Homo-oligomer: A and B are copies of this chain.
Amino acid sequence: MAERLIVVGGDAAGMSAAAQARRRRGVDDLEIVVFERGHFTSYSACGIPYWISGLVTDREQLVARSPKVHREDYAIDVRIRHEVVEIDLVRREVVARDLDGGGEVREPFDTLMYAAGAVPKKPAWAHTDAAGVFGVQTLDDGSALRGWLETEPRPRRAVVVGGGYIGVEMAEALVRRGLSVTLVERDEQPMSTVDPDMARLVTEAMRGLGVDIRTGVRVTGLAERDGRVSEVVTDDGPIPADLVVLGLGVRPNTELAAAAGLPLGPTGGIRVDRQMRVSGVPGVWAAGDCVETLHKVSGMPVHVPLGTHANKQGRVAGINIGGGYATFAGVIGTAVTKVCELEVGRTGLREREARASGFEFVSVIAESTNRAGYYPGARQMTVKLIAERPSGRLLGAQIVGWSEAAKRIDTLAVALWNKMTVDDMTALDLGYAPPYAPVWDPVLVAARKAVDALAG
């Protein structure tokens, strides 16, 4: 009789694991059942802001593989709108609720894959029954928000609370749809995923697009009228709003896991080993936004909810469940985003992370251009490097620029991954041609400056 794998959560991590396990083990050997509480599987949550803005026209474009494809092409028994409400590790069963049909099913498993993702952080003030308040985590969230944009009377004034990636991307998306947008940020600046000196460039660009940015402001409540949100109440006064987006980040979705006794780490994510096996729990695996992972530079556990990690981790878990061998090496905090026309990339540690990890370091900022200065379309590109003192080892890097800038962070990410020093980096043989770089590539200019700073 076939063994049985139950997957909790049918997005990137869960479906990657299921697909890899299926690739290695046929239906006679392994039955695979996936419970997904939403309507969709294998979709790009990162694409939601572009669907909201209208850049992406059709929701289905965001779905890489539908439940139907998983069922028919991969023989994976996907059950959407089924929420797992209990995991019993002793009886090795899950209980799932049918969100549409009602009722519960109880299903046994030999192997469990927990991939329940993350949920938007929701402070006490955000718990409201008023319509018009949205997180942007799942495609169902996105659908609800799209629906609200077309609900009469149509919303005109949006307030985005929190200036991380999703907050910033949503602010831009809503401006592009013609709404008047206010972004409320508790810290001195939005985009704290890069250091303040780099984030300033992003703030300026967003203001240039017409986003009203209120920094150092704390939200304390929401007001409503006729069941619709009407104001965001802050310690700096109320802000009128008929649409509120929660961009306060996400936390690992682990209630169910914790209740079942799966171990959580200091970040709140599930603890897994390098094979994505839940630490100390035989036959149970976890991957994606619900787990914590190793930061290769700080050596500390971190929670980095990002589709690219979820896919890699899910694949690793699936290979191992399928009887192969694979490990997840950890992360170095690489991320890129587009804010208006500005491109932002980061990898490794920010200054405050480097400090918190106990590193001594120097930081340099080098101004350069994306192309040879004389080539049409040359635009400013700012590269920041953080290097350990005195070793010169690269600890972190950030790039802000106007075009062809963000993905340059990969060059630095690979250097950092390989523990290169900034001195070694000055020798790198990088591509040069006038349409693509000055003869001294911005990365090399920054590395040279860091070498000077270490010597000085």
A:339-374 near B, CB below 8 Å: 343, 345, 347, 372-374
Are B428's CB and A407's CB within 8 A? no
**Nearest chain B CB to A415 CB, angstrom units:** 5
How many copies of this chain sit in the oligomeric assembly? 2
Contact of A411 among B165, B411, B432 (CB under 8 A): B411
Are B429's CB and A333's CB within 8 A? yes
Are A306's CB and B338's CB within 8 A? no
Known A374-B56, A376-B55; contact A414-B435, beta-carbon cutoff 8 A: no
A46 located at the interface, meaning its Cβ lies under 8 Å from any Cβ of chain B in the complex? yes
CA distance A148 to B418 in the complex (A): 51
Q: Which chain B positions have C-beta within 8 A of A441?
A: 308, 410
CA distance A342 to B443 in the complex (A): 24
A241 located at the interface, meaning its Cβ lies under 8 Å from any Cβ of chain B in the complex? no
A408 located at the interface, meaning its Cβ lies under 8 Å from any Cβ of chain B in the complex? yes
Are A417's CB and B428's CB within 8 A? yes
**Nearest chain B CB to A419 CB, angstrom units:** 9
A12 located at the interface, meaning its Cβ lies under 8 Å from any Cβ of chain B in the complex? yes
A interface residue numbers (CB < 8 A to B): 12, 44, 46-47, 50, 55-56, 61-62, 165, 306-309, 311-312, 328-329, 331-338, 343, 345, 347, 372-376, 404, 406-411, 413-415, 417-418, 420, 427-437, 439-441, 443
A to B CB contacts below 8 Å, 11 in the list: A44-B372, A44-B439, A46-B372, A46-B432, A56-B376, A308-B432, A336-B432, A414-B414, A414-B415, A414-B428, A418-B420
